[in-house]
Structure 1
Amino acid sequence: MRKLGGFLRASLAPDRLARSLVYAGIAGVVWFFFVQPSAFGSSLSVAALVGAGLVQYSDGKPFIIPLYVYVLAALVLLQLVGLLLGAGGQLGAAVLGSALGLGLPYLAYRLQEKT
């Protein structure tokens, strides 16, 4: 049982989880753009990719990359403008993807901090 706890702790490390979300975002973009075209899926994947890369957890404290903040804000803003203009903006996908990309590694960081 002790080995399983160590495996879960290592696999839920915030930096590793963020890296996995970046890879999942890349795979999602490829899938939803080329294989099964879906505007919602591609927006969700890109937002999760950028959101997961926004905060780095390499040292003990999280570090925010300012360029990714601007990219994520521009992505959400463009989706909002597209929705308001009737051009098919996927605001829900952008917000959900950025919340998942930012929230899951941060949750793992906070849970790891308590143990």
Structure 2
Amino acid sequence: MNIAVAADGENLSSKVSRKFEKCLYLLIVDMNNLNITFIKNDELFEDSYSKSLADDILKYDCEALITGDIEKTAFDILADAGVTRFFGADYSVEKALEEMKKDH
């Protein structure tokens, strides 16, 4: 099972971003072995950034996204695909994943 995390860094000790569209990295975490694929958010200042990030989440077949606030475009793409969203802003990625597992 893959979980996407909008993060300010590229590892488990990084903070979850307060805003999905402004994250520095999108981490794809394989929950079976905690391997991480990270995607640098190179489109921070382009209009299509939220759609591109949402498309990456779908491409990696993620079941959930951990993030802070999320704008309507990306929210709708993920909701339509059945991707669960969890609020985890300001937690470390590792702590947010632990909290998600408790709630899931």
TM-score (norm 2): 0.27
Higher strand share: 2
TM-score (norm 1): 0.25
Higher helix share: 1
Whichever of the two has the greater Rg, that structure is: 1
